[in-house]
Amino acid sequence: MVSGRAKIAEWIKRLVLILFALIIGYLLVASIFSTCYLGRYSYMNAAQVEEINVEHTFYIQDNYVQHIVVFMVFSSLLVLLRTKGGNKSADENNRRIPWLGIAACITAGIVAVLIVLKGQYPPKFDQKHVVEAAAALNAHDYSDFETGGYLFIFPFQMGIVMYFQVLSRLFGSLNYIAFEIVNAVWIVFSYYFFMKIAGMLWDKEHRCKTQTAVLCLLFAPFLMYTTFLYGTVVGMAFALLSFYTVLLYESNPKVHYLLLAGVSIGLATVFKSNYTVYMIAELIYILFKLLADKHSEKRKIFARLLLMLTIIICFAIGRFGVNQSIKNANQGEEVKGIPMMAWVVMGLQDGKCAPGWYNAYNNSVYERNDYDYDRTQEAVMDDLKSRVSGMAHRPLETTGFFVKKVSAQWNNPTFQSVWILEGRSDRESSVWILQEKGRAVYTFLANLLQTWILAGTFLYAVLRCKKSSMEEMILPITFVGGFVFHLFWEAEGLYAILYFPLLLPLCVCGYKEWSAWLHARRSEIVAEGWKSPAGAKLKKKIWTGAVIMVAFCALSYSTVFAKLFARNDDTGIFNTYTQEIVNESEARPEQ
Chunked mean pLDDT (size 10), the chain, 591 residues? 69 90 96 90 68 82 93 91 59 59 94 93 92 95 93 95 96 95 97 95 83 95 95 97 96 93 97 96 92 74 93 96 92 91 94 89 94 95 95 93 95 93 80 85 95 97 88 95 95 95 96 91 85 84 90 90 80 51 42 33
Total of domains in the chain: 4
| 6 and 33 part of one domain | yes
Same domain, 429 and 556: yes
Contact 450, 487 (CB under 8 A): no
293 vs 283: CA distance, rounded Å: 16
Q: Phi/psi class of residue 36: alpha, beta or left (left: φ > 0; alpha: ψ in -120 to 50)?
A: beta
Q: Is 61 helix (H, G, I), strand (E, B) or coil?
A: strand
Q: Which of 60, 14, 53, 21 is nearest to 37 (CA)?
A: 60
Please report, as a single letter, which amino acid is at residue 452: W
In sequence order, which residues have a C-beta less than 8 Å from that of residue 531 and are 6 or more positions away?
none
DSSP string, 170-189: HH-TT-HHHHHHHHHHHHHH
Spell out the residues 6+ positions from residue 335 whose beta carbon is closer than 8 angstroms to its own: 145, 151, 152, 155, 326
Same-domain check for residues 54 and 180: no
- The alpha carbon of residue 543 and the mean position of all alpha carbons in its chain are separated, in whole angstroms, by 35
Instruction: Let me know whether 406 and 523 are in one domain.
Output: yes
Of 434, 431, 453, 430, residue with least CA distance to 443: 434
Which pLDDT score is estimated for 569? 64
Q: Is the same domain home to 51 and 20?
A: yes
In a domain? residue 440: yes
35 and 67 share one domain: yes
Picking from 393, 415, 441, the residue at the C-terminal end of a domain is 393
Do 114 and 30 sit in the same domain of this protein? no
> What letter would DSSP give residue 274?
G
Going from the C-alpha of 510 to that of each of 1, 98, 144, 295, 526, the distances in angstroms are 30, 22, 48, 31, 24
Same domain, 304 and 253: yes
**By C-alpha distance, which of 119, 125, 135 is closest to 167?**
135
The whole-model pTM stands at: 0.92
In contact, 31 and 503? CB cutoff 8 Å: no
Q: With CA atoms as reference, report the closest residue to 222 among 10, 499, 457, 32.
A: 499
Q: Note the residue count of the chain.
A: 591
Position 458 in a domain? yes
What is the Cα–Cα distance from 348 to 480, expressed in whole angstroms? 19
Q: Torsions phi, psi of 468, nearest 5? A: -70, 150
Q: Are residues 324 and 410 in the same domain?
A: no
Contact 225, 232 (CB under 8 A): yes
Q: Are 272 and 232 in contact (CB under 8 A)?
A: yes
- Asked whether residue 342 is domain-assigned, the answer is no
Orientation of helix 100-119 relative to helix 209-218, angle to 10°: 10
220 and 284 assigned to the same domain:
no
Can you give the residue range of the structural domain that contains 582?
Answer: 1-96+397-586
Q: Which residues of 208-230 are buried (b: 16+ CB within 10 A; e: fewer)?
A: bbbbbbbbbbebbbbbbbbbbbb
Quick check: 30 and 565 in contact, CB under 8 A? yes
Q: Does one domain contain both 415 and 546? A: yes
